[in-house]
Chain A
Amino acid sequence: MTQIAVIELRAPSDGRSGRVFLDRKLLERFKLEDLEREFEAAFIDPEDEARMDLIEALLNAEQPLQVSIFPGEQSPPEFHAYFRDPNDPESRLFACVLVSEPIVRKLLEAPPHMVFETETFQIMGSDTTSASLQSAFEAWAGRLWPDRTLPKFEILPWPIEEVHGQPPTPPDRPKGAPRGAVASLPDTDFPTPEELSA
């Protein structure tokens, strides 16, 4: 199993922070400065900047914010977090993806064997309970806005029974009788329970 090293990074230019998870063997190849440079370059996609401005406007309102969490479609799932706009509850604003440790381990199996936290990517432990999702989301927000007082986040997780898949819906009737037996009684003139107990 890959031995993972975790390093806290801080972008030299603006102080934004995040972690890199990497195969320990890579520590011999890269300096901290290399990782920090990569972290800074990959931190935010230009097309996300306008949405981040909208999120900041929500934070500026200094009122509790609801955050809906939706599992992805893989197993185990990654979790997609959205702010709900208090002025328009039907409108959702993407915040970040929360990713558990088993997924990170899988990602580390492929080159370049390192995974950076970014503006939209937050790594959490293997526990994906509501409390852990809340904690991971708060860690994400604290990382992006380290110098401001953040509002209370009310996490609205997807129902846990749907995260792990519902059991298959039973069919209306048995699809087939065992060993070729006839599924219906050929003779309906059978005794009732009352007759049997008489």
Chain B
Amino acid sequence: MTQLPLIEKCPEARACIWWAHGFKHFPHRDIRKSDTRHGPARYLPETSPATIEAMETETVRTAERVELSPGKSEYLHDAGEVIGWDMGKDATYSFAECSGGQTAGRRFHGQPMATGNHKLGGKK
């Protein structure tokens, strides 16, 4: 897969930075796969914030850009292993999206994603 710099892949995201998205996809004590049945998806227990940031940044930088939602830059990367849970299932995809408004600036965040997630549409 061709690796393009972020700025070429997402021209509108010149100041795009990673953020934790309110810790919504971070693991916590006693997290269970079943907790993700109705969302949100979660990374596996003991996945550190630094690892999450690195994984999501890597996804934006190297993964295939997919057109799933109008107005958003979204990226999908097959991690090749279970990185978290989504919809109560093992999640092997790293998904990242770059979005944001005029005030807070453009930022990206991600989440683990399982096959069958509606965001993937018919792609996976």
Contact of B35 among A30, A92, A112 (CB under 8 A): A92
A114 touching B30, Cβ below 8 Å: no
Q: Which residues on the A side are within 8 Å of B15 (C-beta)? A: 111
Instruction: Tell me whether A94 and B35 are in contact in the complex, defined as CB-CB below 8 angstroms, given that A34-B103, A47-B119, A121-B22 are known contacts.
Output: yes
Q: How far is the CA of A112 from the CA of B19 in the complex (A)?
A: 10
A111 touching B28, Cβ below 8 Å: no
Q: How far is the CA of A116 from the CA of B101 in the complex (A)?
A: 13
Q: How far is the CA of A63 from the CA of B118 in the complex (A)?
A: 33
Please tell me if A35 contacts chain B, counting CB pairs below 8 Å: yes
B103 touching A112, Cβ below 8 Å: yes
**B1-35 at interface with A (beta carbon < 8 Å):** 15, 17, 19-20, 22-24, 26-32, 34-35
Most buried by A among B20, B35, B46, B103: B103
Instruction: Tell me whether A73 and B23 are in contact in the complex, defined as CB-CB below 8 angstroms, given that A110-B17, A111-B105 are known contacts.
Output: no
B101 touching A72, Cβ below 8 Å: no
B104 touching A116, Cβ below 8 Å: yes
Assign chain B's interface to a size class.
20 to 34
The interface residues of chain A, by DSSP majority, are classed as mixed
Please tell me if A51 contacts chain B, counting CB pairs below 8 Å: yes
Report the minimal beta-carbon distance from B93 to chain A, rounded to whole angstroms. 15
Q: Which residues on the A side are within 8 Å of B119 (C-beta)? A: 47
**A101-117 at interface with B (beta carbon < 8 Å):** 107, 110-112, 114, 116
Q: Which residues on the A side are within 8 Å of B48 (C-beta)? A: 73
Among A36-44, A132-140, A176-184, A186-194, the stretch that binds chain B is A36-44
3 A-B pairs closest in CB distance: A121-B22, A38-B103, A112-B105
Given contacts A73-B26, A73-B45, 17 further A-B contacts (CB under 8 A): A30-B103, A34-B102, A34-B103, A37-B103, A47-B118, A48-B39, A51-B38, A54-B38, A70-B28, A72-B27, A82-B35, A91-B37, A97-B22, A111-B15, A112-B105, A121-B22, A158-B29
Chain A: residues with CB nearer than 8 A to chain B? 30, 34-35, 37-38, 41-42, 47-48, 50-51, 54, 70-74, 77-78, 80, 82, 90-94, 97, 99, 107, 110-112, 114, 116, 118, 120-121, 158, 162
